[in-house]
Structure 1
Amino acid sequence: MAEPVEATDLMYLDFLPFGESEGNQAACATERMTIDARIEEGWEWFSDEGLCAQLRNNRVRIVVEKSMLEKYSSYFRALKSFREGDSTQVHVDCDVLLFVILVKFFYTGTLDIAPSEVATLLEACVFFGVDEAIDRVECWMTVTSETNDPELIRNVVKAIPTIWDASNRHGQSTVINFCSRFLAINFISAASDSAFMDLPYALLYACVNSPLLTVDSEARLYDALIRWFEAQDLADEAEEEKNEWRANLLGKVRASLIPLKVLLARYSTKNFLDHKDRTIRITHYLKSLDLSGCHEVDDYLLFHSSARASVPDELVGSDEQAQNISPGVEEGSSISGLEGVCSSLQLISPTRNARWPVGQSLEALTVVDVSQCTMIPQDSLVLWLGETCPNLTELIATKCPQIGTSLIPILSKECPRLQTVDLSLDTISVEENEIHKTEARSAQVHFLTWAKYPLDQLTSLSLRGRHELTDLILHNLLLNCQALLDLDVSMCTMLSDHGIGEALRRLPQGLRSLQARCTRIGPSCCNLLSRSNDLQTLNLESCHGLSAEGISLILENQVSLETLFLGDTALDDSALLQFKGRRLRELSVRDTKVSAKSLAAVIRMSPELRSLDVRGCTRICNPENGEGEVAVNRDDGSLFKELESRDFLEELKVGWRFSYFGLEAMTPSQKLLRNLEVGVGGNLCNLCLGKISAHWSSLQKISLCFQTIDDDGIIEILEGLRCLEVLEVQNNICYLTSRGIGALVSRCPPGLKVLKLDRFAPEMSDDDLLQLSRCCTKLSSFSLVGCKYLTSRSLVSISQHMRALTELRLEECGNLTANGGACVLESCKALERLILRHNGKGVEEAFVMKAKMELPHLWYLSLDVCDSVSDCFETPGKVHLEDSLSTVLLSRCKRLEGGFLGPVMSDGKSKRYHKDTIVLRWTRDRIHSCTISRRI
């Protein structure tokens, strides 16, 4: 460093190292570091972290022109009024690096701002009165509040509590507003960071009150605030103050926009929420809108909310696009090769309702999820998307029966940038050869015509479960979506093998992913798929039209596959060995004829395997024996030894041949396993469960079927697997006693969401179930089968304490429904699947109709006619597109008289046997009724 030049217009500013007071300063000048701010080389000190550390740990003198200090700093201008004004040497009690940043700003005009230093820099600016630097900090804040850089957002969130504190102490209103504004705009990113829990209450309150609060869903806001409360140490706070905080924060959460399953899981907080304001939070900064599960959202609410969307002050009045009303879809005829069939059909343009306010155009909004929003008509959704989301790239509308495939061609004009569309529906699969009586009544006929605008950017399309999807419609869709890469037509039973093949032939580049589970895919598709080697995902499970030769033809050229699902098909060794790919991450060969030898060969070629499903593969018992022999080789671990080096394995579903030896072969290296399912043919005991708990303590799901476990095994699971979210035990050889049930109550994993105890706890009492329901209030799925001592008290316990259930199955459980099932309909409003069979005669005849009206998300209902008070059930006779209920199963039984034809029960009545099942399905175009022999 150059020696400072002595002059009357120079100021010598002395700084002490941390921990040293001014009274201890007695060092000579040679022990002091001197920096001349007037020469450019002096700034080299500030670009080197090591040199900066030296500055903080040594006495430092900075030489600055007095005129420069007085020009920018009111602090040094004020020194003129004191005796220090004539002095050329001043001691400064400030962090030397912060002052250096200010001095650099004086000379260069640049201000280096890092989020972690904003608070102290602000204090330095206020202390020295550098107003221009404060303006620069405020300008940086304005730009930063709208940043998309996740790293910068994370750093600001960590620093924002100290910035908020400093700005409040110094009365910097602009900075105070920045803190609440930044947090409001970036709330979702901030809530996912651990630093969110350190936010002060006042800042969080200002954030949730901001009109710019931007959240993709009200449920995310609700969850974040609940987690913030749980992380606070409020032991010293008065109860009234705690409740005031809850009321002030949670009172801004709009209950009608929280999915029922989320709201009911935290039922105790419902009274704090806002039950009046139904407006959707839509701001100029919104990029993704998730309304899934919000059954109260309708078309008027969409338009009303977008009209009230909050925008930044600088954009108010500048967006003329918000005044434009979409004229709808122009009429046009199909441009496909099927003009002769569709030329007489025209698209009807959606009509705008006069009561809808004009919404604003939100350029940033690219993702919209309206799953389970059955109150939004298709035409209204099209108009709203066209007005509000011109840059929409992803539309998710699953479980919306009121929305059909005809939505896609209409959106081709309104949202030309669409890349992903998901219109999947929940449904069940019924094989044609199982049906012995059928009846179908057409409700309305749907044709698909296309507007003048093909979807050139659509790459992903999911139509799973769409029974109205025919060969003609699929052909027309793919002809106008030439960029399509991912297609899901699983459970689309109206599609034929030839129709699927002809449609796929229209795609010039071929598919990247094809999911066609439970369809009629056969030889035509096999020939087509055999010529494609770019597939990464292929799911053909339960496609019974496939032959082993056809599967072999498909696999021999597929080297890029990462996901391969061929369960429940004609797959055998000869077909599986044709596969030469080395990128597999997921493999399912359940219920096929593959042997251990061929399976081991594929596993050996798949170093990145993450998921494996071999349940029901009886031939892996002993690869040397014939097909009809089921012998157990002493070397049980040989097959699973191949998995030892698969460090990425996260999911394992096994059955035959999996025992203690297979477990021993795998456990040395498998630490990432999260999901374990052991089915028929496996042989696990309590000792095995102890080993599983010890080696795979991070398991999130364990499912055991036909195993030899009892109370001790359950206790091993509960004590060792504290991360468990899914516990399924069914049809085991041993039973759970009151001791095991007590352990389940007292040691229930905190995150348990799914509990299945089918034919495993036959001695469960009403009191046991009451205690269990009280400790499992957040369950989303609960299944009990064979608990013969339960009464209607237990059904009341379930309905009162397990309100968040989306799936409930109760079968052969004593007299649960002796007093009817109304309590379930009144309390468990989030139910999507409900199965009540053989639980006692008492279910109302109108139960199906009441369930349809009371449960907004219910799509699957299964009952037994034996339980009806009048031996029959009233069912809907018309199709209402807004109704979510699409499948009703009514099982019927027959009684055999006593004697050699059938046993007599203790009450003198003959035992009931299953006769058949009536399956009722409502789709967009028909009411379908059939009778099958088996119980679904």
Structure 2
Amino acid sequence: MMNNSEVKLARRRYKLAHNVDITNNVRTIMVQLSLLPLWFAAGKRRDCYFSKLADESCNGILNLVNDPSTTLRCILRHGGFQNLRIRLTEFMERVDLSDCPQITTAFLQLALCSYSTEPLLPERVEQSLIEHQNLVGDKYPISRCLVQSFSFEAVHVLDISKWSGVHFEAAIELFCKLFPSLRTLKASYCLNFRMTTLYYLVQKFSLVDEVDLTVDVSPAIPMQVSTISTNIESYRDLSGSSYKMIRDELSLSSITKLTLKGRSDINDMDLERISSVFASLSHLNIKGCTSVTDVGISKLICKCMELHSLVVSDTRFGRNSILSLCSSFPSEGFPVVHCEQKNSTSFAFRLQKLNIGGCKSVDETSLLLLLSHTFRLKSLCMRGTVLADDALCNFFGSSLERVDVSDTMVSETSLIHIIRRNPGLRLFKARGCRNLCHGGSRQEEGKLTSEVLSYHGCSPGEDMYFELGRKCMLEEAAFGWGFSPFSLKHLGPAIKSLRAIAVGLGASFGHYELTLLHETCPMLESVVLHFQVISDVIVKSIVESLKHLKVLGLCYCLGDLSSLSFYFSMPSLRKLRLERVTPWMKNADLVILTQSCPNLIELSLSGCKHLNSESQRIISNGWPGLISIHLEECGEVTMNGASSLFDCKAIEDLSLRHNGCGIQRSFVVDAASKLPMLRKLSLDLCDANEGGFDSPSCADRFSLSIIKIARCKQWRCPFNLQKLDDCRRPLHKETIILEWNSKELRTTVVKERV
């Protein structure tokens, strides 16, 4: 049975699938089962009150995915358009149709045909289905059912994320008629939404100012992995005519916020076209766009004069881009900025958000230059760069709300400087910063002199956590080296409103502090602990006392942990990671876990060596709504294959490594066809019972965009000379990565295990 929070979510999220308004006084609700998101329908299969309806909904959705034309005809013969009707009203401002793989262009048109005043004749509907079944090239037929003029002027936001079977040009034609006042379009994880489709969109919608085209970021970031080989296989270009049609007709667009995160199919030419068409662009996110270069980014910066938010993490952003940011913009056509700062005429001075995390092409000198030009930043991320105290102390802004300096070389001195100048900090992440360890020396790395310390109002020996507790009110934090029980005490009121905390290598939380975490941070929703000493008492205190807890991660922790830790009800928990902390776990313990955490959508288990093939059935029956499953070195879970996991129909991310040599050669193809939402798949050749896996064709991969296959070599222990055969152990050799985007299939072999 749904609790109050689930009822509220259902009212807000799924009212599009209802024939009547949902109010507290309504006793009967007619739900269109074929319109429910797959993850929601799958998750209700365990509920004793809704299991039958959930099964019916899942079967209907999967039938639509596998054979849309036949299933649509069957639905129309038995129930007419009412079984497909999407509920829209003249007052509705947001339409959310995400997570629905069953929606195709034909489905969408037929679902909206009931609003037409023209009689809907069977032969006309049949003709519409035939037209869409044969949809090719640059022909975007709109059903004659929709010729009559009707529209929903109030709709400003449309979310069509995770649609895989839609011809987007045809859908845009339809949306143009239905939602003429559209402002925001979200089409995340839609690989067939190409850049040419984006240009077609801006032609049709003059008012759209925000577009989100996020896809999964490549695991083969060139600056972060050692590439052995790369092979690129381009698709036959089916959109050439579309691009030719719109190439000369593009005019300036009103789009101000554009998110292209993970789009490996865009290059420098695309960035140049974006800078020409989207002249008003103020927010750009190209995180993980591996095909763009530093030169291409720098040219875009010079042309987009109104940029104030730039997310370029995990790209080749480097010295050229920084020089463009630090150069002066032309005074003509721009308002004069009255400020005492000497660099107030630079592009960087206007930035409010800057994310260059993981950009290995940036050197220390460039960082020093960049930070000396930024002043108005509210969000700054320099995770994994060569950032050091010299550069960070050159930042004189006072508006920071979010700062992430994880895995950098900064020390307490420079962070105290940042904290004192920015009392409005809400997010603070400093995991992996070894120079924060007490007693650490940086003399050999060029530690700041006493004169510089004095200039910045800092002195050796001051405590960063004391400054945080005195100045800030944090909502999210990540700590590592140098964090101790005394640090938690010093933070005091700064973490009273904390909602997410992550503690990593080098930190020491303390037994007493962890048991009282619910008193120190009563609002916590996410707790992730790495390399900490834990016990049953600690876990019991966390899961029992933190009533809002949604995410729990225990990774590589030490201590005496037993099955008693998970005998407590955790109905709010949505994500659970147990990595190398439960080696004793057996099937009986897994059953208890499914009863204690009935609403999980993400599960990660590793090092559970007592699990077996029956564990798959326990997982799929206990959590049918899972969207992410990671199992690594979990006994013999896949010794007899992995077909039972296919009962979790809404899986988007599946990782199975070193769980038993029993996975069939056809597993990848089978998973792609039976799990319509699956986007990421990770396997290991050690688990292949026939020595390898078949790769799906572009047409047969459905939503699948990334496949990672690790390959091991046998390593012989030199210290056991008596039993040479028994001491062989698999040792990682390389990883094969297959990535599909809108243009090509890219096969990369890297040394790392990603």
What TM-score do the two structures reach when normalised by structure 2? 0.83
Query: Which of 263, 268, 273 is the aligned partner of 2:41?
Result: 263
Q: Deviations over 1:317-336 (max 9, x none)?
A: 9xxxxxxxxxxxxxxxxxxx
Task: Give the drift of 1:609.
Answer: 0.4
SS in 1 for 2:115: coil
What corresponds to 1:238 in structure 2? Answer: none
* 2:332 corresponds to 1:543: no
Aligned pair count reads 665
Query: Which of 703, 720, 725 is the aligned partner of 2:550?
Result: 725
Kindly report which structure 2 residues correspond to 1:48-67, keeping only aligned pairs within 5 A, or say none: none
Aligned partners of 2:255 and 2:278 also within 8 Å: yes
* 2:202 corresponds to 1:412: yes
What corresponds to 2:89 in structure 1? Answer: 283
Q: 1:780 to 1:221 in 2, by over 3 A?
A: farther
Q: Deviations over 1:354-409 (max 9, x none)?
A: 67643632222221110001111122122112222221111110000111111122
* 2:584 corresponds to 1:763: yes
SS in 2 for 1:469: coil
* 2:231 corresponds to 1:439: yes
SS in 2 for 1:718: helix
Q: 1:217 to 1:478 in 2, by over 3 A?
A: farther
* 2:397 corresponds to 1:616: no
Q: Deviations over 1:447-496 (max 9, x none)?
A: 76535352432111111111110111111122011111110111111101
Aligned partners of 1:402 and 1:882 also within 8 Å: no
For 2:192 and 2:147, locate their aligned partners in 1 and report how far apart those are by CA, in whole Å. 24
**Letter of the 1:282 counterpart:** L
**Letter of the 2:273 counterpart:** N
SS in 2 for 1:599: helix
For 1:397 and 1:358, locate their aligned partners in 2 and report how far apart those are by CA, in whole Å. 26
For 1:675 and 1:820, locate their aligned partners in 2 and report how far apart those are by CA, in whole Å. 37
Q: Deviations over 1:695-750 (max 9, x none)?
A: 1122111000001112222112123212111000010122422332xxx13x2332
Greater Rg, structure 1 or structure 2? 1
SS in 1 for 2:195: coil
Kindly report which structure 2 residues correspond to 1:869-888, keeping only aligned pairs within 5 A, or say none: 869-876=689-696, 878-880=697-699, 883-888=702-707
What corresponds to 2:214 in structure 1? Answer: 424
Task: Give the drift of 1:585.
Answer: 0.6
For 1:580 and 1:309, locate their aligned partners in 2 and report how far apart those are by CA, in whole Å. 58
For 1:354 and 1:670, locate their aligned partners in 2 and report how far apart those are by CA, in whole Å. 57
For 2:6 and 2:613, locate their aligned partners in 1 and report how far apart those are by CA, in whole Å. 46
Deviates more, 1:584-593 or 1:665-674: 665-674
Task: Give the drift of 1:879.
Answer: 2.2
What corresponds to 2:170 in structure 1? Answer: 380
Aligned partners of 1:588 and 1:614 also within 8 Å: yes
What corresponds to 1:460 in structure 2? Answer: 257
Q: 1:500 to 1:647 in 2, by over 3 A?
A: closer
What corresponds to 2:109 in structure 1? Answer: 303
Alpha-carbon RMSD across the aligned residues, in angstroms, is 3.0
**Letter of the 2:369 counterpart:** L
Query: Which of 702, 706, 712 is the aligned partner of 2:531?
Result: 706
Kindly report which structure 2 residues correspond to 1:465-864, keeping only aligned pairs within 5 A, or say none: 465-507=262-304, 509-530=305-326, 531-532=346-347, 533-622=349-438, 625-626=441-442, 638-740=463-565, 744-745=566-567, 747-825=568-646, 827-864=647-684
Q: 1:450 to 1:555 in 2, by over 3 A?
A: farther
Aligned partners of 1:792 and 1:818 also within 8 Å: yes
For 1:929 and 1:902, locate their aligned partners in 2 and report how far apart those are by CA, in whole Å. 40
For 2:280 and 2:312, locate their aligned partners in 1 and report how far apart those are by CA, in whole Å. 19
Task: Give the drift of 1:443.
Answer: 1.6
**Letter of the 1:496 counterpart:** T
**Letter of the 2:704 counterpart:** L
Q: Deviations over 1:208-243 (max 9, x none)?
A: 9xxxxx977447969996x969xxxxxxxxxxxxxx
What corresponds to 2:32 in structure 1? Answer: 254
What corresponds to 2:734 in structure 1? Answer: 916
Q: 1:811 to 1:355 in 2, by over 3 A?
A: farther
Aligned partners of 2:37 and 2:99 also within 8 Å: yes
Aligned partners of 2:301 and 2:325 also within 8 Å: no
Deviates more, 1:751-760 or 1:421-430: 421-430
What corresponds to 1:895 in structure 2? Answer: 714
Aligned partners of 1:700 and 1:723 also within 8 Å: yes
Q: 1:628 to 1:726 in 2, by over 3 A?
A: farther
For 1:655 and 1:818, locate their aligned partners in 2 and report how far apart those are by CA, in whole Å. 38
Q: 1:649 to 1:668 in 2, by over 3 A?
A: closer
Q: Deviations over 1:671-698 (max 9, x none)?
A: 1111110001001232120232221122
Q: Deviations over 1:129-171 (max 9, x none)?
A: xxxxxxxxxxxxxxxxxxxxxxxxxxxxxxxxxxxxxxxxxxx
**Letter of the 2:730 counterpart:** R
Q: 1:762 to 1:727 in 2, by over 3 A?
A: same
Bigger relative contact order, structure 1 or 2, given CA contacts below 8 A and separation 6+?
Answer: 2
Task: Give the drift of 1:440.
Answer: 1.5
**Letter of the 2:160 counterpart:** V
Q: Which runs of 5+ in 2 are unaligned?
A: 58-74, 76-82, 119-135, 327-345, 446-459
SS in 2 for 1:505: helix
Q: 1:668 to 1:224 in 2, by over 3 A?
A: farther
What corresponds to 1:368 in structure 2? Answer: 158
For 1:476 and 1:844, locate their aligned partners in 2 and report how far apart those are by CA, in whole Å. 45
Q: 1:774 to 1:221 in 2, by over 3 A?
A: farther
